Homo-oligomer: A and B are copies of this chain.
């Protein structure tokens, strides 16, 4: 499949006419998009590189497409109530990549774009020695709804939404030492790795009810997320986890492997979901609005993150 044929296929699958605000989709020099009124623009980019974020991609076109979109939308959720406007996808791959791979990638991406109402407006295709997938997500938000990383105050509580540690376990089950391990936890943990859920709805609740003083998505593990929030806010943080912070799937996995679930929750990385600071006076309202939120510590005076654990080796994917 040549570039022209592939681009036509993308234009067809992307269904650029599907949303009224995409005035011109893939196929020209730029996408043309009507930006919503009374909103500010959110823009974020995230990459997935072969060898770093995934290994042999040959059978994984659909999984990669889904994850690429989801991790970008998760960054929109990390700002509070945000509506996806469009995404652009740049994909680089080796010359011998079969047409069926590209077809499946584009199909899965367009399916996921419809699911999250985040139309594929454009992008770029190029050759490279290894697979490299890059995406930009554009969102819209009311300025008053934006929750930055920098608003946490000493005394605020640290809450998490979404899975903790599951993606790391999923990674081990897919690529690693636990590849042959069987158990009821397997599907949950693999899904956590490949299909992280961008918590756009939960972020909307946090914004609209003014529950959180600081917010981010949890892409590098709770230990680093707490560090980013506390550093941006000029305070410290103290993490204290109870096992109800993690899913029964992760608990079961850790019982089977003998690993400490705390290490996964703190340093796992790629969990996405949300981490936020919540003033104590708003904790009850948070628990009512989002009962799935888990208390994971508090913000303190000073600086740095304390865990009272020896296992907290921060996740480094860079």
Contacts and interface: CB of A to CB of B under 8 A. Distances in A.
B123 A45 contact: yes
Given A130-B128, A132-B128, A318-B3, A29 B49 contact: no
A13 interface: no
Question: Which secondary structure characterizes the binding site on chain A?
Answer: strand
A137 to B, nearest CB: 8
Interface string A24-47: 100111111111000111111111
A292 interface: no
A149 B217 CA distance: 39
A86 interface: yes
A277 interface: no
A216 interface: yes
A236 interface: no
B79 A30 contact: yes
Interface residues of A, number: 65
Contacts of A39: 35
A51 to B, nearest CB: 5
A50 B132 CA distance: 11
B127 A317 contact: yes
Contacts of A136: 43, 45, 88, 136
Contacts of A150: 28
Nearest to A215: B29
A90 B29 contact: no
B51 A128 contact: yes
Interface string A201-228: 0000000000000001100000000000
A23 interface: yes
A30 B123 contact: no
A45 B51 CA distance: 23
Contacts of A40: 23, 32-35
Contacts of A79: 28-30, 32
A232 interface: yes
Instruction: Report which residue of A28, A78, A316 has the largest number of chain B beta carbons within 10 angstroms of its beta carbon.
Output: A28
Contacts of A53: 126
A98 interface: no
B30 A139 contact: yes
Given A28-B150, A128-B132, 15 more contacts: A27-B149, A28-B78, A29-B44, A30-B42, A30-B43, A32-B41, A32-B42, A33-B43, A43-B88, A44-B122, A50-B128, A52-B92, A126-B317, A130-B130, A138-B138
Which 10 A-B residue pairings sit nearest by Cβ, starting from the closest?
A29-B78, A49-B128, A136-B136, A134-B134, A30-B42, A30-B44, A33-B41, A3-B318, A29-B75, A45-B88
